[in-house]
Amino acid sequence: MSRPDRVLVYLASPALFVGASADGTDADTDVVTDEHGLPYLPRHRLAARLRGGAFGASTVAPDLAGVRDELFGRRGSHGADRTLRLGHARVDESVRDAVARALNGRGEPLRSVLRRSVTEAYTTLESGIEMDADGAPRPGRLRTHRVLLPGLTLSAALTWASEPEEEHWRLLARACLATTTIGLRGTRGRGRVDVRLAGDGRTDPNTLTLRLAAMGSGERQGVPERTPIPSASS
């Protein structure tokens, strides 16, 4: 079984990854993008959701509670006490290289126009009425939101501050399986995701993650498999 080196995040529904885009898209709620206009999921947001998944996993397996803090640090911690190191979850490297080449040498305003086109290729605009503190609509407060389109797979590099042991892999795999929403408005059907670990490409990420989740726990290895999620290059 190959050793995973990245986390895959497959968007099963439109997602609100709110932040500042490279050029702005005139939406009331924008999407976070890199310097080339490509949307991504910042590492601290991914880590926070995985930590939440790990918390649920350690609740049903109390022996993994200490491992959770080793992996993600104590709650609210962003220091060096975390064993796990995550990169930003981005689109495939070949796509990033192609966009960088297309932008190379371009002057303004053409460069900004191209970056906006890149952002728009991965997103769409949704509109809705702003709600007050009681959940009632505010009259005349129509707002637009820039959301990522479903079907996109993002990939985050996975590294370690120290050599992981079996229980680290087991909890991380379970945290991935337990993470089903990322972004704002998850309770309204937004940001549904499949999160899996991936290795050298010869092993399906779904199979790999399920095997790691059951490793060393005395659980049956023949876990029913779901449909494999697309790779980041799909």
Residue 76 lies in a domain: yes
pLDDT surpassing 80 at residue 130 = no
160: left (phi over 0), alpha (psi -120 to 50) or beta: beta
Q: Each residue of 120-129: pLDDT tens digit?
A: 999 998 877 6
- Give the pLDDT band (50/70/90) at residue 77: low
Query: How big, in percent rounded to 5, are the helix, strand and coil portions of the chain?
Result: 35, 25, 40
How many structural domains is the chain composed of?
Answer: 1
| Range name among 13-27, 73-87, 189-203 with the lowest pLDDT average | 73-87
Residue 220 lies in a domain: no
| Range name among 5-9, 26-30, 47-51, 114-118 with the lowest pLDDT average | 26-30
Measured distance CA(108)–CA(114) in Å, rounded: 10
Residue 233 lies in a domain: no
Can you tell me the mean pLDDT for 42-65? 87
* Domain of 40, in residue numbers: 6-214
Indicate the pTM of the whole model.
Answer: 0.82
- Give the pLDDT band (50/70/90) at residue 1: low
15: left (phi over 0), alpha (psi -120 to 50) or beta: beta
Residue 223 lies in a domain: no
Residue 221 lies in a domain: no
Residue 224: the pLDDT is 37
Residue 64 lies in a domain: yes
Residue 108: the pLDDT is 87
Higher pLDDT, 183 or 226: 183
Measured distance CA(163)–CA(21) in Å, rounded: 36
Residue 197 lies in a domain: yes
Residue 57: the pLDDT is 85
pLDDT surpassing 80 at residue 218 = no
Residue 219 lies in a domain: no
Over the chain, what is the mean pLDDT?
83
Measured distance CA(217)–CA(173) in Å, rounded: 13
Measured distance CA(185)–CA(10) in Å, rounded: 17
20: left (phi over 0), alpha (psi -120 to 50) or beta: beta
Residue 2: the pLDDT is 66
